[in-house]
Structure 1
Amino acid sequence: MDHEMKLAVLIDAENISNKYIDVILSEANNLGDVIYKRIYGNWTTPQMASWRSTILDNAIQPVQQYSNTTRKNSSDSALIIDTMDLLYQSHLDGFCIVSSDSDFTRLASRLRESQKYVLGMGESKTPRSFISACNKFLYLDVLLEEAEENESEEAKPVSTPDTAVAAQPYVLAHEKTPGKDFLTIKQALIKLTEENSDDNGWIFSGTLGNLLSKQFSDFDVRNFGYKKFVPFIESLKLFDVNTITDDKNKTVKHNYFRLKSQTSYRPARSSHPYHKNYR
């Protein structure tokens, strides 16, 4: 997309804690320009009081929705109706739906049918159906823990770099959802490389990352304790790595991966779109 993605952030306050607000807005702002920020709940109930200062501090528009009957979450319906209104009345490129509730599965699917990008955010307890319906899904509890660990480490000297061995125990302690299961991701990377590499076994890192994200909407290297895709792949010890420096911009590097079982052959520059004109 040539222009900055225009987004709406829609938060189910009755299902999400206010402690995640910094993570939510940070991830949304990284994705594009947040045009709408709305939050849904019954603000007359005591349990919603914790959200009030957060809403003011972050200029989020609260939407009041009374519960018409007991044990029914009418805020879900309000969020869905507002989302469909925004779909037809605005020129948004994407929607960020923040909830751990499977009730938004059909909504996410409908948005994608209209060729809108859907970023889902919720806790690790989020049902698989909603996760799979999104283009991308982020685990708020994982991201918050990472943010808190980074804050606590700021005053400490740097020790050793991230390693897959250090990251695995944390991941394996959680529910085995595919995007957080170390073995599942490793197997998928091998299969995707075998099926999509060039005749010499090489695949561009960006291509491999995109294919993996399409297969597992909840895959994120931060699930495994990493900040970037390439160091995570290198840590697996499954691939040979070839890094090509851009001819026109020496600060830009393009990384290619090849399974170690393949014969050694360096990829041609023309195998990457950025290099096809650099002859």
Structure 2
Amino acid sequence: MFENASELRFAVLIDADNVSEKYIKVILDEISNAGVATYKRIYGDWTSPRLASWKSCLLDHSIIPMQQYSYTYGKNATDSAMIIDAMDILYSGTVDGFAIVSSDSDFTRLVARLRESGMVVIGMGEQKTPKPFISACNQFKYLDLLYARQQLEEADDAGDSRGDDVSAPVGKPAPLLRRRLPG
């Protein structure tokens, strides 16, 4: 994928307003294929009951929640906080790339700016993500498709471990069995 991928350091910035916690394993697995997550931050208004389902997920994966209050309805303060942090991280010189996790086109200009500075940018979001954001990234990963594939693989693995492989071909009876069966 990328040259010396195992050595690339990524800042993973997640927009909790636009991403479900069910995708966290897919997100972190994809980043580990590209390099190392040196920053793992997620942005949202953590006083909102809507984000409560993220709590155990954040603890399990050492993701730092970044509090951003919703000052007014209809304005996305979370996006602004992510953009400011991304620029701070960019100028710190501590990463080689960014994973911007959102299905929101508001990050298109940020991605373009990060790439202008020589950063590798992996975008992640659902299939509903607007094309300009997708096109701005070096790579874009569709979380809903990766999650569906992961679910199928886990179901297949569970079936294999129980011995329930219904796809195994049925063979002919062994010659010894044929001799003992009447008829």
Mapped to 2, the partners of 1:90 and 1:68 lie a distance apart of: 31
Cα deviation, 1:185-241, whole Å, max 9, x if unaligned, reads xxxxxxxxxxxxxxxxxxxxxxxxxxxxxxxxxxxxxxxxxxxxxxxxxxxxxxxxx
Q: TM-score, normalised by structure 2?
A: 0.84
Paired residue for 1:157? 165
Computing the radius of gyration from Cα coordinates, the structure with the larger value is: 2
Paired residue for 1:19? 22
Cα deviation, 1:94-135, whole Å, max 9, x if unaligned, reads 100000000000000001101100000000000000000000
Paired residue for 1:128? 131
Q: Structure 2 residue aligned with 1:54, among 43, 53, 57? A: 57
Cα deviation, 1:47-99, whole Å, max 9, x if unaligned, reads 01011111111100110001111111100000000000000013311100000
Tell me the CA shift for residue 153 of structure 1. 1.4
In the alignment, is residue 91 of structure 1 matched against residue 99 of structure 2?
Answer: no
Counterpart amino acid of residue 9 in structure 2: K
Higher relative contact order at CA 8 Å, sep ≥6: structure 1 or structure 2? 2
Query: Between Structure 1 and Structure 2, how many residues are aligned?
Result: 160
Percent sequence identity over matched residues? 58
Tell me the CA shift for residue 158 of structure 1. 8.0
Mapped to 2, the partners of 1:91 and 1:14 lie a distance apart of: 26
The gaps in structure 2 that reach 5 residues or longer are 169-183
Paired residue for 2:173? none
Mapped to 1, the partners of 2:29 and 2:53 lie a distance apart of: 20
Cα deviation, 1:3-60, whole Å, max 9, x if unaligned, reads 7101110000011000000000010111101100000000001101011111111100
Tell me the CA shift for residue 157 of structure 1. 3.1
RMSD: 1.4
Paired residue for 1:235? none
Q: TM-score, normalised by structure 1?
A: 0.56
In the alignment, is residue 74 of structure 1 matched against residue 82 of structure 2?
Answer: no
Mapped to 1, the partners of 2:156 and 2:119 lie a distance apart of: 38
The gaps in structure 1 that reach 5 residues or longer are 161-279
Q: Structure 2 residue aligned with 1:38, among 30, 36, 41? A: 41
